[in-house]
Amino acid sequence: MRLLETDKWAVSSNSMVGFHSPFLPMMLPAPIPAGRALTAWPRLTYLGASPLSILQNGQFIGFQWFDPGSYGPAVPGTFGTCGVGTVRGPGLRTWDLSVQKGFPLSESKRLEFRAEFFNVTNTPILNSPYTSLNFNLGLVNTSQGERNIQFALSSTIDRWLTRR
């Protein structure tokens, strides 16, 4: 008889760590004439690193992930000098936790309580920065995966034991 196992709390956890994903800053293509297909988006030209500027308006609008002043449009007829994967986006770190306990009500009936905590530490999961050449280039202003807590209560009846 294993009643002692059902009287204990069961705890499980899951953690995810994602590395910084590479991406490529690009120019938005000019309007495409009718009947022609877009074969590739033009890359930007790397102009060299310059110091990041801090927003002065007093409002938080996001994280400036990379310096937009380091990139410019490609010379017409060229592909640009920015290599693929030269800029890396935000990584991912999250930790989930689950706690559950079973309560035997009778030989064939059981009640289970479960609490699940997703992103326990409430670490922001930042989305990738804007990669097109405009005023948002390099800006990260969206995220996902805020802390989520779920509770569940379930009952089970073992019908095989009730048919004796």
Check whether 154 has a pLDDT greater than 50: yes
Q: What is the pLDDT of residues 12-39, one digit of tens each?
A: 988 888 777 777 677 665 556 666 655 5
pTM (predicted TM-score):
0.60
Got the DSSP string for 39-88?
--PPBPEE----PPPPP-SS----EE-S-GGGEEPPPTTS--SPPTT-EE
Residue of 79, 86, 76, 92 lying closest to 25 (CA atoms): 86
Band (7; pLDDT cuts 50, 70, 90): low
Q: What is the pLDDT of residues 105-141, one digit of tens each?
A: 888 888 999 999 999 988 888 888 888 888 888 888 8
Which residues are 9's β-sheet partners? Answer: 101
Q: Token match 């289970």: residue?
A: 112
- Alpha-carbon distance of 86 to 26, in angstroms, equals 12
Question: Can you give the pLDDT at residue 5?
Answer: 43
From its phi and psi, is residue 138 left (phi > 0), alpha (psi between -120 and 50) or beta? left
Domain ranges of the chain: 3-162
Q: What is the pLDDT of residues 43-75, one digit of tens each?
A: 777 776 654 444 545 566 778 888 888 888 888
